Chain A
Amino acid sequence: MSYLADVATLARKDLRLELRARDTLPAMLLFVVSTLVVFHFALPAGADEVAAQGLLWVALLFTALLGLARAWAPERESGALEGLVLAPCDRSAIWLGKAAAVFAFLAAVELVALPAFALFFGSVDAATIAGVALASVGICAVGTLLAAMAAASRTRELVLPLLFLPLAIPLVVGGVGASISPDSGRYLAFLALYDAIFSILCWASFEYVVSE
């Protein structure tokens, strides 16, 4: 139980920081809406709704990247990561807490992005919403770990998309498949499989990313 309490404390810390500073979430919200507007002008007039479904995923992925690039910034800027690593809690709790906070940001963005998408481009069905929810778990799990890796490097924000996009390709396949395929259950199951595999892998390996 104390493990979950640690996770909750760490996640709450990130949410409180965001509430006070308001750095990341407004930027993500503005970015996702701007991207959708750009897509309206990038899509040719005759393009069908199916093409727009793919663009929703591009918008969500890049917005998530924007948030992930800032995920470890507070720790890095104040040198707090060493303190967290030395704290008497399981190190994977640091990852889980951060992933939960990023998930909260991403969910807030999606609450705006999906209605905006429906308004601009057409309907959003239940399978798409389920796909977005499942893919968000994978994005946050993998993205938080990769962001921690990127934070240790000199190039930081530059290297994160390079690490993240190849790993996100299966999520896009599952998400787009769930949106446009009549057999969306298969794609949702694939997304759930991805979430399970990579969450376990990230949970087990985070300790090595932050410690020496």
Chain B
Amino acid sequence: MLAAVAAALMGLAIVFAFFVAPEDADQGISQRIFYFHVPIALTAYAAFGWGAFKGLLLLWRKEERYDLESYVAIHQGTIFGSLTLLTGSIWAKASWGHWWLWSENQLVLFLVLFLFYSAYFMLRFSIEEGPRRANISAVYALFGVVLIPVSFLAIRLAENIIHPTVFTRDGPQMSGIMFLTFCIAWVAMSVLAYALYRLELLGKRLDSNLRELREALS
């Protein structure tokens, strides 16, 4: 059900992004990747935030199920984060002629986060399963959401800003239909991420139940 809604919304977003939204005057066709790149990035942030929130719940309430939920959210966040790097890199190539630009603050931030969360998996899978691992993973996930604003500030301090700022304090600098397309794509991406999150969670839970059953039988 959720997957069907996600697929329908994605289809709608693709139709809007390619056929309904008007061509950007400056950037032409390459601007259309914006409708995917930015929603993917926002979804990745949301997934990292969700993972940290579940981690906080784990530390607070000591319920085992939050560990898996936190892990799956961060896994999805890392997948969407890699996609952000990929789409951002394509956009940078189309707009500025380089696959990688250090002056692109958001991309650099995602690179740092990608390194940080890759280490999360290294750490998690080298600790024996149990409450200790759950606690350590949760604390590390909390570090992640603190690192996001701190790194962002650091990168801004380190570089001058040439990233096209779409949202300013004056509100979005987009025509109505472009903004609508962006919103549809954003909702579609979030629903897709949530559907994937539920799916992976279901699989992982099934897996652990099966393992427990097998241990009980043997």
Q: How far is the CA of A124 from the CA of B130 in the complex (A)?
A: 49
B146 at the interface (CB under 8 A from A): yes
Minimum CB–CB distance from A204 to chain B (whole Å) comes to: 9
For the complex with contacts A152-B132, A162-B118, A190-B154, 5 further pairs of A-B residues with Cβ separation under 8 Å are A154-B126, A162-B115, A197-B146, A198-B146, A209-B139
**Could you say which of B122, B128, B142 contacts A162, with CB atoms under 8 Å apart?**
B122
B7 at the interface (CB under 8 A from A): no
Q: How far is the CA of A173 from the CA of B155 in the complex (A)?
A: 8
Minimum CB–CB distance from A135 to chain B (whole Å) comes to: 12
Q: Are B123 and A153 in contact (CB under 8 A)?
A: yes
Closest-by-CB residue of B relative to A142 is B143
B119 at the interface (CB under 8 A from A): yes
Q: Are B154 and A159 in contact (CB under 8 A)?
A: no
B157 at the interface (CB under 8 A from A): yes
Minimum CB–CB distance from A41 to chain B (whole Å) comes to: 26
Closest-by-CB residue of B relative to A170 is B154
**Given the known A-B contacts A153-B123, A159-B119, A201-B142, are A169 and B135 also in contact in the complex, defined by CB atoms under 8 Å?**
no
Q: Are A152 and B136 in contact (CB under 8 A)?
A: yes
Q: How far is the CA of A186 from the CA of B138 in the complex (A)?
A: 32
B29 at the interface (CB under 8 A from A): no
Q: Are B119 and A211 in contact (CB under 8 A)?
A: no
Closest-by-CB residue of A relative to B159 is A173
Q: Which residues of B contact A165 (CB under 8 A)?
A: 115
B147 at the interface (CB under 8 A from A): yes
Q: Are A205 and B146 in contact (CB under 8 A)?
A: no
Q: Which residues of B contact A193 (CB under 8 A)?
A: 150, 153
Q: Are B130 and A166 in contact (CB under 8 A)?
A: no
Q: Interface residue count for B (Cβ, 8 Å)?
A: 32
A155 at the interface (CB under 8 A from B): yes
A163 at the interface (CB under 8 A from B): yes
Q: How far is the CA of A165 from the CA of B122 in the complex (A)?
A: 14
Q: Which residues of A contact B153 (CB under 8 A)?
A: 170, 190, 193
Q: Which residues of B contact A211 (CB under 8 A)?
A: 135
Specify the main secondary structure of chain A where it touches its partner.
helix
Minimum CB–CB distance from A13 to chain B (whole Å) comes to: 24
A150 at the interface (CB under 8 A from B): yes
Q: How far is the CA of A183 from the CA of B59 in the complex (A)?
A: 41
Q: Which residues of B contact A154 (CB under 8 A)?
A: 126-128
Q: List, sorted by A's number, 15 A–B pairs whose CB atoms are closer than 8 Å.
A: A152-B133, A152-B136, A153-B126, A154-B126, A154-B127, A162-B123, A163-B123, A169-B151, A170-B151, A170-B154, A173-B154, A173-B155, A190-B154, A198-B146, A201-B146
**Given the known A-B contacts A167-B143, A194-B150, are A159 and B155 also in contact in the complex, defined by CB atoms under 8 Å?**
no
Minimum CB–CB distance from A207 to chain B (whole Å) comes to: 9
Within 175-203 of A, Cβ neighbours of B (below 8 Å) are at: 177, 186-187, 190, 193-194, 197-198, 201
Within 64-105 of B, Cβ neighbours of A (below 8 Å) are at: none
Minimum CB–CB distance from A186 to chain B (whole Å) comes to: 7
Q: How far is the CA of A197 from the CA of B147 in the complex (A)?
A: 10
Q: How far is the CA of A197 from the CA of B138 in the complex (A)?
A: 18
Q: Are A205 and B112 in contact (CB under 8 A)?
A: no
Q: Are B126 and A166 in contact (CB under 8 A)?
A: no
Q: How far is the CA of A206 from the CA of B128 in the complex (A)?
A: 19
A77 at the interface (CB under 8 A from B): no
Q: How far is the CA of A209 from the CA of B131 in the complex (A)?
A: 10
Q: How far is the CA of A91 from the CA of B3 in the complex (A)?
A: 45
Q: Which residues of B contact A174 (CB under 8 A)?
A: 154, 157
A48 at the interface (CB under 8 A from B): no
User: Per-residue 0/1 for A107-147: is the Cβ within 8 Å of any B Cβ (1 yes, 0 no)?
Assistant: 00000000000000000000000000000000000000100
Q: How far is the CA of A154 from the CA of B112 in the complex (A)?
A: 25
Closest-by-CB residue of B relative to A186 is B157
A33 at the interface (CB under 8 A from B): no
Q: Are B127 and A153 in contact (CB under 8 A)?
A: yes
**Given the known A-B contacts A155-B122, A190-B153, A197-B150, are A149 and B115 also in contact in the complex, defined by CB atoms under 8 Å?**
no
